[in-house]
Structure 1
Amino acid sequence: MLKLKIKNLRFSIDKKEILKDISLEVPKGSFVGIIGPNGSGKSTLLKNIYRLYKPSSGNIILDNKDLSDMKDKDCAKQIAVLAQESNSQFDFTVEQIVKMGRYPYKSIFEDYSKTDLKMVKEMLQKVGLDEYNDRSFSNLSGGEKQRTLIARALVQNTDFLILDEPTNHLDIGYQIQLMDLIKSLNITTLSAIHDMNMASMYCDYLIVMKEGKVIDFGTVEDVITSQMLKEVFGVNAYIGKNPINNKLQVSYMHVHEHVNGVGCDHVHEDGFSGVHSHTV
């Protein structure tokens, strides 16, 4: 398992600063979520980490190694990525797409081994696509494409996983299946997440971003508060405890609604009875 450390990271496009002096650490073996409104810099931060973008200044250190000094294949053996973009310029089958995750371990013209093919088969089964080997990737639904790309990331067999909105295009059943699978890997994971309840269920720590800055980092219980949701997202919310899994659960409310007439930062152990709200 790998530890990530970011020191004084800045990133600009056309002289506009997108990331502003970001410093943080992702502990080994933890599942860390990044939350924040659209345009806050979540995806841009991830793209700097997995080297799609080059930082304007600062350092990204993975287990005492600066990522900027690593070769592409060496980096791919350390970090697997599920990005938001899923466009494919060529018409590959599902199996061919997933096999690409083994590329960092292959030399030129080297064929896939029995071990490679076994890993591909196992991951396709885990994402529910074991009958899709020969299906054309371009003809898949958005959710099927997402699950294919997740399988490709997982066959890289890395100790660090980066996910950019991993549950996009997935219905709720596959969202839970995917997050359960990722959590069961027990590897260091950094993920941009837009669903507060998913973040509460699966994350160990949360990073809050706003306007290109990290404004908070801590446990789910410390970070997800009605005050934070109001200040960062501009929404009123009631936060309670799910009586089944004891995780925080967020209910969003209309602008005019308040809990007990005094706001909504109270945590109750008995769920949400009597609160008129929208649970997401």
Structure 2
Amino acid sequence: MFKVQVKNLRFSIDKKEILKDISFEIPKGSFVGVIGPNGCGKSTLLKNIYRLYKPSSGSILLDNKELAKMKDKDCAKEIAVLAQESNTHFDFTVEQIVKMGRYPYKSVFEDYSKEDLEMVKEMLQEVGLENFGERSFSELSGGEKQRTLIARALVQNTEFLILDEPTNHLDIGYQIQLMDLVKGLNITTLSAIHDMNLAAMYCDYLIVMKDGKIIKFGTVEEVINSEMLKDVFGVNAHVGVNPINKKIQVSFMHTHEHIKGLGTEHIHEDGFTGVHTH
């Protein structure tokens, strides 16, 4: 069963076509990553799906319902979003911002319930900010702000989560913690990811974008290989298998280093290629 269906989606700004006939389907409960070079349309695609942008043509279905016809509050009960940039410029506390994630479930002037407050407390603990509730959001570091906004998205308690480069501003420890947390939710997740090894570790499927088009959709094993990395990102890389978690792992080469004929079928004897993140 598909949670999300995108059909013949096109999007233009000032007569320039940014998304070009995009179609794909996301199986319910899967973690789907969107990868591709800067400017390929990853964020624009996500913004069309969570309705910040209105498609020029095509349709987006969520549980077979037309997203464009849904009311904003109903949509917020179905989709939680962690955008790349924050529009939160007001001087709220961390707890107040996380509480905002419960807004879709509240009527006008309705106060937060005990269950709401418990959920806020639980999610602050999950992202390592249990002692930050009274801190001003404006005084936080970039990573702390990111974790606050992640907690806000999670308290919406939806079955579909959209993340736009969620590990931006996070050090490696919190990157792993965040991805573990999201993966453990077992809900449908669509995320733009710039780190190839994080994508390989956590995603069930990958969408590869280039120049506003989807050029490949499939499992991590089907998608990530040295040829794709060369064609899409213009980099030389060796693709192997991590012997510990058995996941695909990418080792990037200097531009002057050339590898020929190396794909997942050519792996070091121990299968290990080393951890390289960028």
TM-score bracket for this pair, using the shorter chain length: over 0.9
Using the alignment, how far apart are the partners of 2:249 and 2:163 within structure 1? 22
Which residue of structure 1 aligns with residue 54 of structure 2? 54
Q: Does the 8 Å CA contact 1:252/1:278 hold for their aligned counterparts?
A: no
Give the drift of 1:257: 1.6
Q: 1:96 to 1:8 in 2, by over 3 A?
A: same
Which residue of structure 2 aligns with residue 264 of structure 1? 262
Using the alignment, how far apart are the partners of 2:152 and 2:89 within structure 1? 17
Q: Which amino acid in the other structure matches residue 63 of structure 1? A: D
Aligned length: 275
Give CA deviations for 1:204-226 in whole Å, capped at 9, x if unaligned. 00000000000000000010000
Q: Does the 8 Å CA contact 2:243/2:272 hold for their aligned counterparts?
A: no
Note the 1:1-280 alignment, pairs <5 A. Answer: 3-259=3-259, 262-265=260-263, 266-268=265-267, 270-272=270-272, 279-280=276-277
Give the drift of 1:256: 2.5
Q: 1:85 to 1:2 in 2, by over 3 A?
A: farther
Q: Which amino acid in the other structure matches residue 71 of structure 2? A: K
What SS does structure 2 have at the residue aligned with 1:3?
strand
What SS does structure 2 have at the residue aligned with 1:149?
helix
Using the alignment, how far apart are the partners of 2:43 and 2:266 within structure 1? 31
TM-score normalised per structure 1: 0.96
Q: Does the 8 Å CA contact 1:208/1:215 hold for their aligned counterparts?
A: yes
Give the drift of 1:272: 3.8
> What is the Cα-based RMSD across aligned positions, in Å?
1.4
Q: Which amino acid in the other structure matches residue 21 of structure 1? A: D
- Identify unmatched segments of 5+ residues in structure 2: none
Q: Does the 8 Å CA contact 2:160/2:187 hold for their aligned counterparts?
A: yes
Using the alignment, how far apart are the partners of 2:177 and 2:76 within structure 1? 25
Q: Which amino acid in the other structure matches residue 279 of structure 1? A: H
What SS does structure 1 have at the residue aligned with 2:12?
strand
What SS does structure 2 have at the residue aligned with 1:145?
helix
Give CA deviations for 1:162-200 in whole Å, capped at 9, x if unaligned. 000000000000000000000000000000000000000
Q: Which amino acid in the other structure matches residue 264 of structure 1? A: L
Q: Does the 8 Å CA contact 1:253/1:278 hold for their aligned counterparts?
A: no
Q: Which amino acid in the other structure matches residue 36 of structure 2? A: G
Q: Does the 8 Å CA contact 2:93/2:133 hold for their aligned counterparts?
A: yes
Q: Which amino acid in the other structure matches residue 170 of structure 1? A: L
- Identify unmatched segments of 5+ residues in structure 1: none
Q: Does the 8 Å CA contact 1:251/1:278 hold for their aligned counterparts?
A: yes
Using the alignment, how far apart are the partners of 1:139 and 1:71 within structure 2? 34
Using the alignment, how far apart are the partners of 2:17 and 2:139 within structure 1? 39
Q: Does the 8 Å CA contact 1:200/1:249 hold for their aligned counterparts?
A: yes
* % identity of equivalent residues: 79
Q: Which amino acid in the other structure matches residue 197 of structure 1? A: N
Give the drift of 1:2: 6.7
Using the alignment, how far apart are the partners of 2:253 and 2:194 within structure 1? 17
Using the alignment, how far apart are the partners of 1:16 and 1:105 within structure 2? 38
